[in-house]
């Protein structure tokens, strides 16, 4: 309990301090703000390792796509991946719920780095422009898009079917997909206390090239990520 309280205070104090330090960079080009995002990822790793004695293992680095545009489809069990994946990949463009963009400072940061927001389970003018916005951003940047196809954070033992949006992104962008399986929920659950003396494994899986029928793609993506989660849990 005490280590959890200490982690909460130290981690979020650090995030606030990093945000304040980089606040002036909001007036500078986007690349300056992206440095702050990567720093937050390293800070999350440092706090987990030093305060909670968590080990972080990365598998499949050799599978990271480097020679073409791609998007990342990652499992989502905790806040950890939203911070740490920025240190592995080239500052990914996040797709996230619109409510996060309304948080002071943090929401400003998300807008500045080009995050794409969507209102879940609602049809709005912004949602209708969603895929146009994605294609426009991806055509202008070398940063990969990242999506959590489960739609929200889930428990480590949950295996919900992937949302249809990931199939539409695959179909619209016509680029390869980099599947990533992360078992962070055992350490940093959606609710409750964080664990100590455990390991978070991030498994970067071989890419799925464009060219499949979208429903077959989702089936293959789901199978690859859930099979790997079963292996690393």
Tens digit of each residue's pLDDT (9 = 90 or more) over 116-151:
877 655 444 444 567 777 888 788 888 899 999 998
Q: Select the more confidently predicted residue: 213 or 125.
A: 213
- HSE, side-chain direction, 13 A CA sphere, residue 155: 4
Q: Which percentage of the chain shows pLDDT scores above 90?
A: 59
DSSP 171-186: HHH--EEEEEEE-GGG
pLDDT of residue 120: 57
pLDDT of residue 130: 72
- Mean pLDDT, rounded, for 68-91: 93
Within a domain: 11: no
Q: Is 160's pLDDT higher than 90?
A: yes
Q: Which domain does 160 fall in, by range?
A: 55-232
Within a domain: 60: yes
CA distance 160 to 180: 16
DSSP the chain: -HHHHHHHHHHHHHHHHHHHHTGGGGGS-HHHHHHHHHHHHHHHHHHHHHHH--EEEEE-GGG---SS-EEEEE--SSSHHHHHHHHHTTSPEEEEEGGGGGSTTHHHHHHHTT-EEE-TT---HHHHTHHHHHHHHHHH-SSPEEE-TTSS---TT--PPPPTHHHHHHHHH--EEEEEEE-GGGTS-SSSPPPSS-EEEEEEPPPB-TTS-HHHHHHHHHHHHHHHHHHH-
The per-residue pLDDT of the chain, averaged, comes to 88
Q: Select the more confidently predicted residue: 192 or 13.
A: 13
Dihedral over Cα of 139, 79, 76, 201: its sign = positive
- Mean pLDDT, rounded, for 102-129: 66
Does the predicted model carry a pTM greater than 0.75? yes
CATH at residue 178: 3.40.1130.10
Give me the number of domains the chain comprises.
1
Within a domain: 40: no
Range in 10-14, 15-19, 40-44, 69-73 the model is least confident about:
15-19
Six-digit token pair at 48? 């987990």
- Mean pLDDT, rounded, for 5-29: 87
Q: Decide if 178 contacts 63 (C-beta within 8 A).
A: yes
- Mean pLDDT, rounded, for 15-34: 82
Within a domain: 70: yes
pLDDT of residue 119: 64
Q: Which percentage of the chain shows pLDDT scores above 70?
A: 94
Within a domain: 44: no
Q: Decide if 180 contacts 204 (C-beta within 8 A).
A: yes
Within a domain: 172: yes
Q: Is 226's pLDDT higher than 60?
A: yes
Q: Which residue has the tokens 């294609």?
A: 135
- Mean pLDDT, rounded, for 30-47: 90
Q: Is 14's pLDDT higher than 80?
A: yes
pLDDT of residue 128: 53
């Amino acid at each position: 309990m005490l280590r959890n309280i200490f982690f909460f205070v130290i981690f979020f104090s650090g995030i606030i301090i990093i945000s304040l330090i980089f606040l002036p960079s909001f007036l500078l080009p986007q690349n300056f703000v992206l440095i702050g995002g990567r720093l937050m990822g390293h800070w999350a790793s440092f706090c987990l390792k030093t305060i909670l004695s968590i080990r972080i293992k990365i598998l499949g680095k050799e599978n990271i796509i480097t020679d073409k545009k791609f998007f990342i489809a990652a499992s989502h069990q905790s806040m950890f991946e939203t911070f740490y994946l920025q240190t592995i990949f080239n500052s990914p463009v996040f797709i996230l719920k619109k409510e996060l963009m309304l948080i002071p400072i943090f929401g400003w940061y998300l807008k500045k780095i080009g995050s794409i927001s969507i209102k879940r389970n609602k049809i709005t003018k912004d949602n209708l422009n969603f895929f146009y916005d994605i294609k426009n951003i991806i055509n202008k940047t070398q940063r990969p898009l990242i999506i959590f196809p489960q739609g929200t954070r889930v428990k480590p033992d949950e295996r919900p079917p992937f949302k249809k949006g990931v199939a539409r992104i695959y179909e619209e962008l016509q680029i390869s997909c980099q599947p990533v399986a992360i078992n962070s929920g055992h350490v940093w659950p959606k609710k409750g206390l964080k664990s100590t003396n455990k390991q978070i494994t991030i498994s970067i899986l071989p890419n799925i090239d464009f060219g499949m029928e979208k429903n077959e793609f989702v089936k293959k993506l789901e199978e690859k990520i859930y099979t790997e989660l079963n292996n690393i849990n």
